[in-house]
Amino acid sequence: MSSPSSLSECLQEWEVMEKDYQQVQETHRLYKHKLEEVTKLQDSCSSAITRQRKKLKELAVSIKECRTKHPAQDLSSEERNVIRDIQDSIRGRPDIFLEMEAFLPKKNGLYLSLVLGNINVTLLNKHSKFAYKDEYEKFKLVLTVILFLFSFTCRFLLSYRALDALFNFLLVWYYCTLTIRESILISNGSRIKGWWVFHHYVSTFLSGVMLTWPEGALYQMFRSQFLTYCLYQIGFVQFLQYYYQSGCLYRLRALGERHNMDLTVEGFQSWMWRGLTFLLPFLFFGHFWQLYNSVILFKMAQLPECKEWQVAMCGCSYLTLFLGNFCTTLGVVYQKYITDKPKSL
Ligand code: COA
């Protein structure tokens, strides 16, 4: 639309704008009113859930007491069935409440309160949750590429302690950022296992220790192995993980609700198992490389010339990473195997 050139056209334009402005004001008033209603509904949902949780706990205890007072043979079969049904429902409720709470504002845990303060991090619709998770995966991918190039440069092109320190500093920042993002994802209903978040705390610590390791014969002894490990684990394996995780994310989004997934959705199941069987050998190889790193570091710590505390500390960190990663990955695969009953393994 061309801009008004005469005074009368300006007046006409102003009238149109005035009407539009009234409309904007009305829409904004309605928006604020709805926001207040939403806030009230959120409060009443949250307190109803807290009340329900408390009462369910009390009821579960009362039913248990009644059952000890009245053994099964004293009850009619109808009463026994009713009690069984109630107990089944009580067992299922906590999961339902968790799903509900993923869409309700809640107080941040200790870590998020310390880092972000008491700001609400709950995203209130599925689209925003998906977008946030998608952005988290893309963030990891971008950093994977940067870290891969960085470690390649340090490993094969330039050997300066200052450059290594910059690389380790980037790793500290990256892992710290992941812990924050993952805590926000968990607040939004993500089922990331506690170990993977803890794994990033340990990795932050490990990179911090590597950062402070002074230049010397022992540092040079471990440097190549460390950088090659980074190339493999942070570059290559993380890229495969990205492919698998984002594939899951998009497919599950297409299928609908992740955690209420219909287990007969065989297309997803077979894709997931194909992805996992491809990924697992690389993951396990990485885990054993962590074990190998820790063994080498413990051996170095026993050398008479070893004065640096960083050697044993890095050894302990790698051992912790190996144990946690290996056991958790085995646990995840076993859990998937018994619940999903794969058909294409
Ligand atoms: N880091 C961050 N999030 C992870 C994760 C990891 N290592 N593993 C799983 N998750 C997330 C999933 O994206 C999913 O999130 P959602 O609830 O928001 O959708 C949730 O945790 C549950 O995932 P789950 O079904 O248990 O596993 P999966 O099929 O997504 O992945 C593995 C299974 C084995 C591939 C995955 O756990 C993995 O890559 N583990 C190995 C990691 C590793 O060893 N790293 C070595 C050091 S880098």
Q: Whose CA is nearest to atom 37 of ligand 1?
A: 329
Mutate which of 202, 229, 241 to test ligand 1's pocket (most atoms within 8 Å of Cβ)?
Answer: 241
Residue 310 contacts residue 221 (beta carbons within 8 Å): no
Average pLDDT over residues 248-258: 73
Query: Is the Cβ–Cβ distance between 174 and 203 less than 8 Å?
Result: no
pLDDT digits 0-9 by tens, 331-340? 999 998 887 6
Residue 220, both tokens? 């040079």
**pLDDT reported for residue 341:** 58
Q: Which residue has the tokens 């885990």?
A: 287
The pLDDT, as a whole number, for residue 262 is 46
Residue 343: per-residue pLDDT:
41
Give the number of the atom of ligand 1 that is nearest the alpha carbon of residue 333.
34
* Span from the CA of 235 to the centroid of ligand 1 (angstroms): 17
Q: Answer yes or no: is pLDDT of 237 > 90.
A: yes
For residue 262, report the distance from its CA to the centre of ligand 1, in Å: 20
Give phi and psi for 105, each to the nearest 5. -65, 140
Q: Which single residue is written with the structure tokens 């859990």?
A: 335
pLDDT band at 102 (very low <50, low <70, confident <90, very high): confident
CA of 192 to the centre of ligand 1 (A): 7
**Whole-number pLDDT of residue 65:** 85
pLDDT of residue 1: 60
Taking the centre of ligand 1 as the mean of its atom positions, its distance from the CA of residue 21, in whole angstroms, is 49
Average pLDDT of span 63-83: 79
CA distance 262 to 48: 29
In SS3 terms, the chain reads as CCCCCCHHHHHHHHHHHHHHHHHHHHHHHHHHHHHHHHHHHHHHHHHHHHHHHHHHHHHHHHHHHHHHHCCHHHCCHHHHHHHHHHHHHHHHHHHHHHHHHCCCCCCCCHHHHHHHCCCCCCCCCHHHHHHHHHHHHHHHHHHHHHHHHHHHHHHHHCCCHHHHHHHHHHHHHHHHHHHHHHHHHHHCCCCCCHHHHHHHHHHHHHHHHHHHCCCCHHHHHHHHHHHHHHHHHHHHHHHHHHHHHHHHHHHHHHHCCCCCCCCCCHHHHHHHHHHHHHHHHHHHHHHHHHHHHHHHHHHHHCCCCCCCHHHHHHHHHHHHHHHHHHHHHHHHHHHHHHHHCCCCC
Percentage of residues in the chain having pLDDT higher than 90: 64
Enumerate residues lining ligand 1, CB below 6 A. 133, 185, 190-192, 196, 233, 241, 244-245, 248, 258, 279, 283, 286, 325, 329, 332
